[in-house]
Amino acid sequence: MAKFNILLFEPVHPCGQDHLLKNDCDILWAKGFEPDQIIASVKDADGILARARGFIDGPVMDRAPRLKVIGRHGIGVDNIDVDAATERGIYVVNTPGAPVEAVAEYLAMSFIALPRQIGQADTATRSGDWALRDRVHAPELLGKTLGIIGFGRIGRRLAEICSLGFRMNVIYADEFPASAEEENLLNVHRVELDDILSTSDYISLNVPLLDSTHHLINADTLARMQPHAIIANCSRGPVIDEQALVTALKNKQIGGAIIDVFEQEPATPDNPLCELDNVLLSPHYSGHSAESIQKMAMVAADIVRVLNGQKPEFPVNGPL
């Protein structure tokens, strides 16, 4: 039986790339992440396994007459034109639960690490600057207010950690409220976005990138935050207007920012955020743990299911 061709942009964990794909598929490698490089790579692909880089739109799909499924390694599908795929009868699948624990743990850790200057403390200790212990007295999380914007899987897990673990006051904003039972269980309550901005000591963005969330955090919304507040973005870079954020941080309009995702990725050393000391930056890796990278690679299972004429377990679009 002829094997299917799967196009990859970047390697994924062997549990998906080798163990799941190798029996049914041959792996093709994209020439790069630019549109012309992708288009030049897709003509023989039956399936695509994509990570965060490389945009797969209608023109790309039209160059792949055999294409039946696009698998997204992770949750967000903003680099895939889902509507275009649906119009062409192409499945889009992802791994919605895979990075939940990793991102929630990263956020909870960062709420402590940024104000307590954990990175600077390590550097100071190694250089003999013992006096840092007298200069840094950061607030505890106990009793502080955490506002979660977007109460999906990650938002709920973060709420559980921070409300029940750190005993923070947790509020959330979401178009779709949790049930009263779940709110009671997590000790959280739903408020409007303005209330999140004006009352939270910490704000976490956990929304997909949509037209309605593009630059959700901008000069206006930043101005409504408390001057000591810390905002964290582990969703998608364009959810924050990065230029407005830099201005707010430079002017000490807010207390700080935890940024794992950027408007332009990969971020480069000349990004103005890199010049600031009231930020904690990371290279879009909050969702990467030893466990999560294996779970995300399991999108290969749904790719194989679709190619073998079966229904996927985690479809983003459909039914087709």
Q: Which residues are tagged catalytic?
A: 236, 265, 284
| Amino acid at site 289 | S
What is the distance between the alpha carbons of residues 288 and 296, in angstroms, rounded to a whole number? 9
Alpha carbon distance 73, 47 (integer Å): 13
Beta strands in 152-277, from DSSP E residues, in sequence order? 169-173, 188-190, 202-205, 230-233, 256-259
Q: Is 150 in contact with 206 (CB distance < 8 Å)?
A: yes
C-alpha 269/C-alpha 194 separation (Å) is 34
Question: What letter does residue 213 receive in the DSSP assignment?
Answer: T
| 3-state SS assignment for residue 88 | coil
Q: Which two tokens stand for residue 255?
A: 């207390």
H or E segment and range at residue 148: strand 145-149
96 touches 75 (CB < 8 A) = yes
Alpha-carbon span 98 to 293, nearest angstrom: 8
Which residues make beta-bridge pairs with 59? none
Cα–Cα distance for residue pair 175/143, rounded to 1 Å: 26
Q: Return left, alpha or beta for 94; rule: phi > 0 is left, psi -120 to 50 is alpha, else beta.
A: beta
| Amino acid identity for residue 256 in this structure | G
CB 240 within 8 A of CB 217: yes
DSSP 218: -
Output the CA angle 304-308-311, nearest 5 degrees: 80
